[in-house]
Amino acid sequence: MQPIVKVKGLKKYYPVEKSWIDKLLSRERRWVRAVDSIDLEIERGETFSLVGESGSGKTTTGLVLMQLVEPTEGEILFEGRDIFSLREEERRRLRRDMQMVFQNPYASLNPRMTVEEIVGEPLTIHLGLKGEERRGRVIELLDIVGLNPGKYYVDRYPHEFSGGQRQRIAIARAIALRPKFIVADEPVSSLDVSIQATILNLLQELKREFKLTYLLIAHNLAVVRYMSDKLAIMYLGKIMEKGVSEDVFQNPQHPYTKALISAFPDINPDVKRDRVLLRGEIPSPIAPPPGCRFHTRCPFRLEICERDEPMLVEVEDGHLVACHMVE
């Protein structure tokens, strides 16, 4: 079966502003390599997660997929069509199928719009709905996301809602056009844990009911394990490991993946574990280390790691790792 989303050789570089010294010495422009050549395939109906620390490029990947940022290089195929070679009109049509839920529901909802306007806006723009018809649709959507009765909430403003309720409004807006694919960028990380669980469950229910495909962007591995079918671990703009979620969790191969999993504080008092502690911090994406980008922090680094960049190799069915140790 054809994957719903296919990403090939995606790169996104952002230019670094030249300082006056750089100009004086006519130094070359430098680039932040936010995403540096990644490939992804997302199958219809699955939840695919992008995992990594801040600065790993996971959010940039999501933004490029949503056509909110132009890629520097590479292709993105949605249902087999390259989205960046489409005509403007077709691209607009495509937005109905691809929607996004953002991290911070305090920033992603316009404080001067009512819930009816927020959730109804895409209905007006794409389907031309107005008046009672639109209002009825919005109320229905609010009921679906658990803000029921919807008519009780429809005329309110965002400030009248708690964080969890706001995220429900953002989700109602995202599903308003019956999309096929949703990018959820840290959808619960700004919420309290008891609320997180209810939002994660809502996302799961909607996925079943509307046959959605998700790209989940998250740093919380417990959330990722709970939600995903497949995942990719990113570090400094590259994919270090990807595969079926349970394969990666049960049999992590890359030292970085092992470090991430062991770093996570767990509430099980009986688990004794040896942490793979990493030294130092994530290097700058302006001048990523040569060879394997992870070598500066890797506890197992070999000489080759400083020189040659490892390729992604398959270690078991569909489980790929970019590390010289596993070749």
CB-nearer residue toward other proteins: 107 or 277:
277
Query: Could you say which of 89, 131, 271, 317 contacts other proteins (CB under 8 A)?
Result: 271
Which region among 35-43, 64-72, 193-201, 303-311 touches other proteins (by CB under 8 A)?
A: 193-201
> Per-residue x/- marks for other proteins, 36-65, CB under 8 A?
-----------------xx-----------
| Length in residues, the chain | 327
First to last CA, the chain: 29
Which region among 80-88, 129-137, 257-265, 287-295 touches other proteins (by CB under 8 A)?
A: 257-265
One-character DSSP codes across 1-65:
---SEEEEEEEEEEEPPPPHHHHHTTPPP-EEEEEEEEEEEE-TT-EEEEE--TTSSHHHHHHHH
Q: Give the Cα separation of 259 and 53 in Å (integer).
A: 12
Q: Give the Cα separation of 317 and 243 in Å (integer).
A: 8
The residues facing 247 across adjacent strands are: none
216 binds other proteins (CB under 8 A): no
Query: Could you say which of 141, 170, 278, 323 contacts other proteins (CB under 8 A)?
Result: 278
Residue 280: partners with Cβ closer than 8 Å, 6 or more residues away? 296, 297
Q: CB 244 → other proteins: shortest distance, Å?
A: 12
Q: CB 222 → other proteins: shortest distance, Å?
A: 4
73 binds other proteins (CB under 8 A): no
Which region among 68-76, 112-120, 178-186, 259-267 touches other proteins (by CB under 8 A)?
A: 259-267
CB-nearer residue toward other proteins: 137 or 166:
166
Single-letter residue type at 85? S
234 binds other proteins (CB under 8 A): no
114 binds other proteins (CB under 8 A): no
Q: CB 262 → other proteins: shortest distance, Å?
A: 7
26 binds other proteins (CB under 8 A): no
192 binds other proteins (CB under 8 A): yes
Q: Give the Cα separation of 148 and 151 in Å (integer).
A: 8
Which region among 14-22, 66-74, 169-177, 256-264 touches other proteins (by CB under 8 A)?
A: 256-264
Residue 276: partners with Cβ closer than 8 Å, 6 or more residues away? 255, 258, 259, 262, 263, 299
- Binding-residue total with other proteins (CB under 8 A): 39
CB-nearer residue toward other proteins: 6 or 207:
207
Q: Measuring CA to CA, how many Å separate 258 from each of 21, 233, 249, 278?
A: 42, 11, 9, 10
Which value, in Å, is the radius of gyration of the alpha carbons in the chain? 21
231 binds other proteins (CB under 8 A): no
Residue 183 token pair: 């990018």
Residues that bind other proteins (CB under 8 A): 53-54, 162, 164-165, 192-198, 200-201, 219, 221-223, 225-226, 246, 249, 259-269, 271, 275, 277-278, 281-282
